[in-house]
Structure 1
Amino acid sequence: MHVASLHLYPLKSCAPLDADTLDITPRGPAGDRRWLVVDDTGRFITARQRNEMVGIRALPDGDGLRLDAPGRPTLRVPVPLPDAPRRPVVIWNDTVHAQDAGDAAADWLSAWLGTPARLVHMDAGARRAVDPDYAAPGDEVSFADAYPLLVISQAALDGLNARLASPVPMARFRPNLVVAGSAAHAEDGWRRVRIGGIEFDAVKACTRCVFTTLDPATMTRDADGEPLRTLMEYRRTPKGVTFGMNLIPRGTGVLRVGDAVVPLA
């Protein structure tokens, strides 16, 4: 087994970036989901609420971020200064005191999404713990849904697409790592895995939602509810429909496309 592809999401719910390497930190890949869009109450906005989120291309730009979207002017957003205002933002059941990225970014996002929105940044001072039911004391996560990384086997997607009338891309599932050379859903059985020179705990299968029905190319949802409808036929568990495995790193370093993947437990 080996790493077939690597993916980064600088802004939560934005378009994915393909990468040759990922620099793994305790919170997950460096630069992954360190930016978040929130509404005027401070609650997070994702493509679950606003399809247009997946149309935003957020590119690392020096110490900041460059935002692009169809028909919108490009905006460069610098990383907020250490003394920038902080605001409490809510992501799921967590409250994070994140840095506000300023009015220019807020205006740009509000115009694109058609609703009041602000951009916030997670620096070293913004802390968010991983669910203690699945983590060790001190484990942290970015603005990802719940865990530092997500891995999916390519064979899992191939098996799903064999059941669908219209195949879907891996982008529907937003993994950081795609693994080739395994059986479909081999990751379900992992408890600890070494990828390249880094070990990870495989802590919880990823439960899937309506986000999978959103076509990132068109920013519209599949009218027939696919691929979630088909996944319900063979991937339903007591905790929901699962597809992929959440990982917590137990070391730091660089992952590369082609790295070996070795289950340890």
Structure 2
Amino acid sequence: MSGPLGGLDPIAVRRAVEATLTEDLGRAGDITTAATIPASATARLVIAARQPGRLAGLQLAQAAFAALDPSIVFAAELVDGAKLAPGAVIARVEGPARPALSAERTALNFLGRLSGVATATAAYADRVAHTAAKICCTRKTTPGLRVFEKYAVRCGGGANHRFGLDDAILIKDNHIAVAGSIEAALDGAKAYIGHLVKIEIEVDTLEQLDRVIAHGGADVVLLDNMGPDLLREAVARVGGRMATEASGNVSLETVAAIAETGVDLISIGRITHSAPTLDLGLDVAVG
């Protein structure tokens, strides 16, 4: 069932699932299920795809059922990262009916949201598969779900950018403006960090890029809102001295041309902040 990099941190999964179930069950619990389903009833259920896509979030779905009743059997038929066709069986769920039905929406919300992110990422990754460029996410994630959405990006064939403000330095235009110059911002960053922390700096023009290179460069240069011709020239000027990342208004229609300029990375906020939820369903098993 585990997907890329062996899956998710079980502590993070448990906390997220418990918070979501608490939100859904409220003060009195699932009164619909309690009123209509005998306490002794059991159920056999199937989670299936209703549209094509890429799967992510199985651990969260399993944890939702287990949190309400550990005796519920969650048997995954696929693994995270798997391609989904309409009707594909994702998992089979069997056990006490009341907790299984009460956990349904939490399980599907996580699965649908993360599979949507994985599906959006895969669409971009497929468009650049003929190049060496990697599709990356950003910090434009759903509050509280970042670690899961970044995992879903990997399930879709993408790569992760920094997880937060504390794991890498990214000098953007506002930092440069307040610091006073590109050179001052780079000097401050290099004096502040330890040897394991990487530095990335954003530039909008080739002139700014030349200043970065002349001042010793960084680990990565973010080439913001540049068209293919400027990107190609920027990659040539960098000459492999830094990793190059393209960003800004990237779409499915433009991503291949951007990748073909030779950039190493293409960061896209919309694979997380605008990914539609994948339509999945949970139904009573027949037969």
TM-score (norm 2): 0.24
Higher percent of residues as helix: 2
TM-score (norm 1): 0.26
Q: Which has the higher contact order (CA 8 A, sep 6+)?
A: 1
